[in-house]
Structure 1
Amino acid sequence: MLWDDFLNSDWHDWRGTGKSEDRLDRPGWLRAWLKEQHLPILDQPNPHELQQLKELRSLIHGMVTSIVQGVSPDAETIGRLNDVMSDGPVIRELFFREGSLSTGNRPVRWDWQQVMSDIAASFADTIANGETARIRICDNPDCLWVYYDDTRNRSKRYCDDKMCGNLMKVRRFRARKKASEDDQP
């Protein structure tokens, strides 16, 4: 999803080194991300646009944190998200897709305001039409990656079982081993 990939641009080393990186500040990262998301490529955002991107990320991350804690977004926060969406006007269209009629929205223009509007709309659609109980933050305290749990039984605890999941299993094993060694005289 557009919104969770954007949120995870605030990267933390899942291995516990303490390293972190705001990938929005890394030259070329946004361009690669736009391409990965199949969005039109734009020039690097100016300082004001970059600050707006970071504010949007912070807004959505705050909403995700509340949702994960079982708290619904308040009217003020929803209003702020609506303000971001309103900055990206679209034209509603009817068109053929794979042999059948479909509807969609075409941006009036393509700029960083539109990108932010699309990110906000992606998140709004998820919380309005998806299952908010599936929105998760990785249980690895060093990672904190945000993801949408699409497993059948909704029991996914880690962003990636092979990385964070295995790391946390090893940490638990070592902690139990150390505790049992400490208990022996």
Structure 2
Amino acid sequence: MKDMIWLDLVNTDWHDYRGSGRHEDRLLRPGMIEQLLEHWDIEGMERATEETIAELQRLRALIQRIIHTLLEKRLPDQDELVALNDCFAQAPTRLLVSPNEQQIQLRRVPCWHDWPWVYGEIAASFAHTLAERDPFRIKQCENPDCRWVYYDESSTASRRWCEDPCANIMRVRRYRARHRPSSS
């Protein structure tokens, strides 16, 4: 889902789905930001600084707050949307007309190819999901140890877990709870 690069950022806040209690901010892993940029097909960025990482963490926290609002079946409030709009303000774009084979192409291009532009692209991908898709299909894995965020594209919007391993763990936990000998 290239149009949902925000998912990659949100899920850098990693929790061990197996229940060990381990938690890791994967943005702090060496090479992680470079991997994300490569995955998003963004080239030519200067090396991420501590300030860059802190800004990505702030953007991730904002998106997470909005997601938690959506999980409560409410739309984001005005303050959350203003904060998202502030990300766009830091990343101005302009329209560019150019030939494309037998037709004219109109594209929106960044005024500057810098980190604020990257933050704006992430925020824009999230805003597109909110505006052009069903925002209530943004879900968090029901495995309480996982916290992975995903977009539920199932036909019935009834998906409960991020991936099969979490679904299997939850089935095993429910089975064991039902078959646990009662202590009398």
**TM-score (ref. length: structure 1):** 0.90
Paired with 2:37 and 2:13, the residues of 1 have a C-alpha distance of: 16
2:74 equivalent among 71, 79, 101: 71
Residue equivalent to 1:182: 182
**Quick one: structure 1 residues 81 and 27, their matched pair in 2 at CA, closer, same or farther if it must change by over 3 Å?**
same
The 8 Å contact of residues 67 and 135 in structure 1, kept in 2 or not, is answered as yes
Residue equivalent to 2:128: 125
How far 1:98 moved relative to its partner? 8.9
The answer to whether structure 1 residue 35 and structure 2 residue 33 are counterparts is no
> CA-to-partner distance for each residue in 1:130-185, whole Å, 9 max, x for gaps?
1012110110100011110011111110111x21111111111111110xx217x7
Q: How many residues align?
A: 181
| Structure 2, unaligned runs of 5 or more | none
How far 1:93 moved relative to its partner? 3.5
Paired with 1:131 and 1:103, the residues of 2 have a C-alpha distance of: 27
Residue equivalent to 1:54: 57
Residue equivalent to 1:20: 23
| RMSD of equivalent CA atoms | 1.9
Paired with 1:147 and 1:98, the residues of 2 have a C-alpha distance of: 37
The 8 Å contact of residues 134 and 149 in structure 1, kept in 2 or not, is answered as yes
The 8 Å contact of residues 31 and 42 in structure 1, kept in 2 or not, is answered as no
Paired with 1:166 and 1:152, the residues of 2 have a C-alpha distance of: 21
3-state DSSP class of the match of 2:33?
helix
**TM-score (ref. length: structure 2):** 0.90
Q: What percentage of aligned pairs have identical amino acids? A: 37
